[in-house]
Amino acid sequence: SQTIHQWPATLVQPVGSPLSLECTVEGTSNPNLYWYRQAAGRGLQLLFYSVGIGQISSEVPQNLSASRPQDRQFILSSKKLLLSDSGFYLCAWSVSSGRRNNEQFFGPGTRLTVL
Partner 1 sequence: RKEVEQDPGPFNVPEGATVAFNCTYSNSASQSFFWYRQDCRKEPKLLMSVYSSGNEDGRFTAQLNRASQYISLLIRDSKLSDSATYLCVAYDFNSGNTGKLIFGQGTTLQVKP
Interface residues toward partner 1, by CB under 8 A: 32, 34, 42-44, 46, 49, 51, 57, 88, 90, 94-98, 100-109, 111
> Which is closer to partner 1, CB of 73 or CB of 111?
111
CB of 110 to partner 1, least distance (A): 10
> Which is closer to partner 1, CB of 51 or CB of 53?
51
> Which is closer to partner 1, CB of 42 or CB of 80?
42
Cβ-contact 35, 19 below 8 angstroms: no
Q: How far apart are CA 57 and CA 74, in angstroms?
A: 12
> Which is closer to partner 1, CB of 16 or CB of 100?
100
**Cα dihedral: 96, 6, 2, 40 (round 10):** -70
CB of 17 to partner 1, least distance (A): 23
CB of 30 to partner 1, least distance (A): 11
